[in-house]
Chains A and B, each alone.
Chain A
Amino acid sequence: MSATPTQTLIGPDLYRTVEEVSAELYKRSLTDLPPDVRRSLDRALAAEEGRHATMMLKIMRHAVETSDRTGLIVCQDTGIPVYFVGIGTEFQINGAKLLDALGDGIALATKRYNLRSSVVHPITRENHQTSTGREIPVMHLEFLDGADYLDLQLLPKGSGSENMSFLKMLTPADGLAGVKRFILDCVVQAGANPCPPTIVGVGLGGTADKCAELAKRAIRRPVGEPHPEPDIAALEQELLEAINLTGIGPQGLGGRTTALAVHIEYAWTHITMNPVAINIQCWRGERARARVFADGRIEYGY
């Protein structure tokens, strides 16, 4: 095993850096759409003929370009911040302080960039005006064996699409046919609400909580990048074609592109279980990512 390089980013500097990176990620994710999303919207526009569908997609593209030019966030919905945090095993950090710093960065960006705080207490509806609160940002953690960096990916999840989330504990007897039927029916039921054309994230297997998490994890993937397993990739393609046969179209006003992609993630499950979860992402597919290295280098991406 190679020698671990000396970590120079340590102490208070480390957590201040993480906080600043988190603030930057929040602003970036809302302003600069990933290149795969842009290409996907262009492909959709080329495939449409109807007046409404063409106009909707042109206006979406115009909004992306307007944000490039002006620095304005693309959508008004600043969302619920959802973090996927990868911690390199060769990167020394206090995990509790890391999570605090990520949350502090979200609050910092909210104030610094005058972002709407979209986060409230579920009963009192109190808003701290920080885009944070109990258990928010949502945190998903994983460890990266041998890596000497932090991998921080932020999805500011808007409510139009997040409200169109579904979970069904199907039975083994329902089979794959039941899974396919549920996914198609949910997309039809969601209709215009999640701002189509969408990215349909699907979780299969696990427990109820794991299944829902898998559906969320599925929308992290660059748009249209198939699952590495051919059988799953084929299922993704089959579902995408079926969804686009419905004709719901951009913004639910009719057209050929209801979804830009279907992404599936799966886990093994119980002998008696067949759970399926759906997490829909709107046409913007917002996400931003940063790698923070032990020597202090920061690389931004999506």
Chain B
Amino acid sequence: MATSADDAGTGAGNVGVIRLRAPFDEATARSLHVGDQVVIDGIIWGIRDATLIRIFDRDREPPANLTGAVLLHVAPSVRKRDDGGYDPVSVGTTTSTRMDRFTRGCLEELGARAIVGKGGLSQESLEHLRQIGGVYLTVVGGAASPETLQVEAIEEVIWEDLMPECLWKFRVRDFGPLFVTMDSHGSSTYQDVRDQAARNLDAAYARLGLTQG
């Protein structure tokens, strides 16, 4: 398909890309390591601020089985069909950091095995991924147009009153490329880069004629 990420030489056709079917189990989540590249077929669930606040701060159990789920931090643009269903107009990814405090709940209470987002999560979330068995997958923020073409259908919309921050059930094909940047073995690319940036600060301050501290 001309619309796959293969056009950019970045997609599913490449050697070394791991193809996963979602939902998946703990063993699958634990088989992934930082540096792996992944594409997903199957079901992923869209979730974000208002959805998570309703579930965890207002104690409303979502009427959906999220065991083994892949959760995507998203609030899409959609077109409502005459039959009441929805078609995707833009499905992208939002900043995960805002939802950091819900990581444990998503893994432990909802049973999710993967969180897909951009910007990464904290070291506390990394520890939850390690203990419970989950993985964080990075999608390129702001690059929603290819992502949208990988959504085959919106199968279900739960809590429409939160539009656009509903709980969205997407059927996807060749969803990705996704990058394993936080794994269940204690590795985080985000933390590695933060550490490296801290070490680079001396040189950056020096460029500005400043000393650190």
Spell out A's residues near B (CB within 8 Å). 52, 55-56, 58-63, 65-67, 70, 72-78, 113-118, 125, 127, 129, 158-160, 163, 177, 180-181, 184, 188, 191-193, 195, 238-239, 241-243, 245-249, 251-254, 282-284
Contact = CB atoms under 8 A, between A and B. Distances in A.
B56 interface: no
Nearest to A158: B142
Contact of A52 (B5, B189, B194): B189
Interface stretch (B20-28, B70-78, B124-132): B70-78
A59 B149 contact: no
A251 B95 CA distance: 11
Interface of B: 3, 5, 7-10, 50, 74-79, 89-95, 97-98, 118-120, 138, 140-146, 148-149, 163-164, 177, 179, 181, 189-190, 192-194, 196-198, 200-201, 203-205, 207-210
A44 B120 CA distance: 22
Contacts of A65: 7
Give the most central of B95, B143, B207: most A CB within 10 Å: B143
B144 to A, nearest CB: 4
Contact of B10 (A58, A78, A242): A58
A198 B58 CA distance: 36
B95 A246 contact: no
B208 A127 contact: no
Contacts of B93: 76
Contacts of B8: 58-59, 61-62
A60 B140 contact: yes
A286 B25 CA distance: 40
B38 to A, nearest CB: 13
B145 A67 contact: yes
Contact of A184 (B75, B194, B204): B204
A160 B163 contact: no
B189 A253 contact: yes
Contacts of B120: 192, 252
A282 B149 contact: no
A184 B208 contact: yes
B201 A188 contact: yes
Contact of B145 (A63, A78, A242): A63
Given A55-B10, A62-B8, A180-B210, A116 B141 contact: no
A30 to B, nearest CB: 8
Given A55-B179, A177-B210, A192 B146 contact: no
Contacts of B142: 60, 63, 74-75, 77, 158, 160, 195, 282-284
A246 B94 contact: no
A127 B78 CA distance: 15
16 contacts: A58-B9, A60-B143, A61-B8, A62-B7, A62-B146, A63-B146, A74-B145, A76-B93, A77-B94, A78-B77, A113-B89, A116-B78, A195-B119, A246-B197, A246-B200, A282-B142
